[in-house]
Amino acid sequence: MHHMKIICSKNSLLKSVNISLKAVPSKTTMPILECILIDATTNQIKFTSNDMELGIETVVEGHIEEKGMIALDAKILYEIIRRLPDNDVTIKTDDKYTATITCEKAKFNIPGKSGEDFAYLPLIEREEALTISQYTLKEMIRQTIFSIAVNENNRLMTGELFEIKDNCLKIVSLDGHRISIRKMPLKREYSDRKIVVPGKTLSEISKILSGEVDDMVSIFFTKNHILFEFDQTMVVSRLIEGDYFRIEQMLSSDYETKLTINKKEFLDCIDRATLLVREGDKKPIIISITDNRMELKIDSAMGSMNEDIDIEKDGKDILIGFNPKFLIDALKVIDDETITIYLVNPKAPCFIRDDEENYTYLILPVNINQNQAR
């Protein structure tokens, strides 16, 4: 076996280990998966981690003195590197798969495993990359990820739909109470696709995207996998199988009441109202809309609050209740100063959307006793 010896700065190691950790499982029956594979058998140093759902490979800046590879426990590796002085770190291995990590006067010996047993990432056929800015991808995930379902009852709800249609990328998430949709026109022609990406993949990937407008990410699709490539890093994830929900039926453009409101004022007001709601309480915020004002009320064991907001209104008066958290989640990720809300009746979903429909947030109301709310 070849002895490996690599020298990297502490910072580039830490950056790469941090990226790799996103695909290290917290508990697994396969101990090898708790490791990061350090592969310096070619002329690049690569770290690979894989929890069989999500796999990450990232290139580490550094110098290879001797080629070789080893798998080291990810958490230990992270904790060691994090605590080393800010200087060059040498990692070398011996015949018994022990790794010696030295930096200045600090020296650690930790047991490793043969890299041969490591679960390599699936090879992805690279056909037709969808290339968008890291900023855009990170934003579209942030603006939709909050409304995926957390429980596993319906796997499809724990992922997000990525749909390319008419040269537009659409990302959709839903949890049975609300739907979030973000759309973005693409700069060139792409073939139509529809896939469902696990929410975990997307939240991990958004943590490592730089979020810069000029940094690009290339996305490749296959029948079972999605591959994201950016900044010397490759993230491969399995897809969620099955047909995503047909949301077209739920998106009507009919409305009885249309309001225009200052987003910040509306958000701040709901935020104040939720002061009086304990975690886990199901207290709705009650919204009463009459000519040009909206009154918001909340009543709980801790007290009550009401506040008026000026709005512009077309259509009927309405009294309707919502889970305040759902409104806050959507309002937080809308950047427009003024927003438009469409309502039909107290039992039908409300829609918050812009004219171009670059975003649509659908929220189901909470049943309220119409008399008690007055």
pLDDT in tens, 244-294: 999 998 898 999 999 999 999 999 999 999 999 888 788 999 999 998 899
Look up residue 272 and give its two tokens.
């104040």
Please give the helix or strand (H or E) that residue 201 lies within, else none.
helix 199-208
The CATH number linked to 191 is: 3.10.150.10
Q: Which domain holds residue 99?
A: 5-117
Indicate whether 31 and 94 sit together in one domain: yes
Given pLDDT bands bounded at 50, 70 and 90, which one contains residue 373? low
Of the residues 222, 247, 272, the one at which a domain ends: 247
Domains held by the chain: number: 3
DSSP-assigned letters across all residues of 38-100: EEESSSSEEEEEE-SSEEEEEEEP-EEEE-EEEEEEHHHHHHHHHHS-SSEEEEEE-TTSEEE
Asked if residue 298 belongs to a domain, the reply is yes
Whole-prediction pTM: 0.94
Q: Is the alpha carbon torsion for 270, 276, 279, 280 positive or negative?
A: negative
Q: Which residues of 240-257 are buried (b: 16+ CB within 10 A; e: fewer)?
A: beeebbeeeeeeeeebeb
Query: Are the CB atoms for 302 and 278 separated by under 8 Å?
Result: yes
Q: β-pairing, 359-363 with 350-353?
A: antiparallel
Q: What percent of the chain has pLDDT over 90?
A: 86
Tell me: the pLDDT tens digits for 349-362?
999 999 999 999 99
